Amino acid sequence: MTLQLRIDEHTVNGSTSKTSRTQLAYRILRQKILDNSFKAGEKILETELAKSLDMSRTPVREACIQLEREGLIEITPRHGVSIKPINEQDMSEIYDILCALEPQAARLVAEKSAKGLLSEEDAKYLEQTTIDMENALINDNLYDWAMADEAFHYALLVLCGNQRLTDVVLQFWGQAHRARLFTLPYRKKPVDSTDDHVALLNAIKAGNADLAFQLHAEHRLKGMQNLLGIIRKFDLDRL
């Protein structure tokens, strides 16, 4: 099984099909939103987006519809799109979902491991993300740490085998990603978070599903408390 390493990237085969153009527009615009190149509350005309991408308005419009479904933008007819800000209540609700569903994904992956259904390649990939996190912290590179952290979480969703669970979580992934990147400069060095991943990986390798669930539930809860604490402390109520 080959994991898709970045959920904001889609394969575009170089054809000029409508689907390819739409997905390319979606990928580019989504990345600009996620890395905060487009600021919260910013309003952009559809014609400006199309011009910047050197595309017609149709694929851009359809890409925007996808982005609106993910809660990243709001479309106003004849007035273009606006980048939806994220506030403390939004993140609290999103983390309620992550805290409920992601631990179950960890449980399912551990159950696969217990049955010998987790491939050596996928186990090594999970391990590599923890190594990448540790190396990023050694180099004081929080952005690389965040990318490796996200790769670990995403891999659990892909490997769990429950597509509906995965789809629900990914519906809110973009908003959580934006908030986490925005708050990176305010974080303390996340050594504990990396240690949590290592402990979870060991539970998965051992096939201990109950422990995997418990560890990931505690990890996600700590993540929620940390992020909401940063939002309150620095008055970041419009991410």
State the Cα–Cα distance between residues 50 and 27, nearest whole angstrom: 14
Topology at the third CATH level for domain 18-83: Arc Repressor Mutant, subunit A (1.10.10)
Tens digits of residue pLDDT in 134-164:
999 999 999 999 999 999 999 999 999 999 9
pLDDT for residue 239: 84
Q: Is the pLDDT of residue 5 over 50?
A: no
Q: Is the pLDDT of residue 7 over 50?
A: no
Q: Do 75 and 68 form a contact (C-beta atoms < 8 A)? A: yes
User: Alpha helices of the chain — where are they, by DSSP H?
Assistant: 18-34, 46-53, 57-69, 88-114, 120-138, 142-159, 163-171, 173-183, 191-205, 209-233
Q: Do 73 and 84 form a contact (C-beta atoms < 8 A)? A: yes
State the Cα–Cα distance between residues 37 and 31, nearest whole angstrom: 8
pLDDT for residue 132: 97
Tens digits of residue pLDDT in 168-213:
999 998 899 999 999 999 999 999 999 999 999 999 999 999 999 9
The dotted CATH code for 88-233 is 1.20.120.530
Q: Is the pLDDT of residue 9 over 60?
A: no
Question: In terms of pLDDT, which residue wins out, 10 or 34?
Answer: 34
State the Cα–Cα distance between residues 161 and 112, nearest whole angstrom: 9
Question: For residues 186-197, b (16+ Cβ closer than 10 Å) or e, as one string?
Answer: eeeebeebbebb
Please compute the mean of the pLDDT values over residues 80-95 and round it to a whole number. 94
Q: What pTM did the predictor assign?
A: 0.85
Domain range annotation of the chain: 18-83, 88-233
* Those residues with Cβ within 8 angstroms of residue 210's Cβ, 6 or more apart along the chain or in another chain: 107
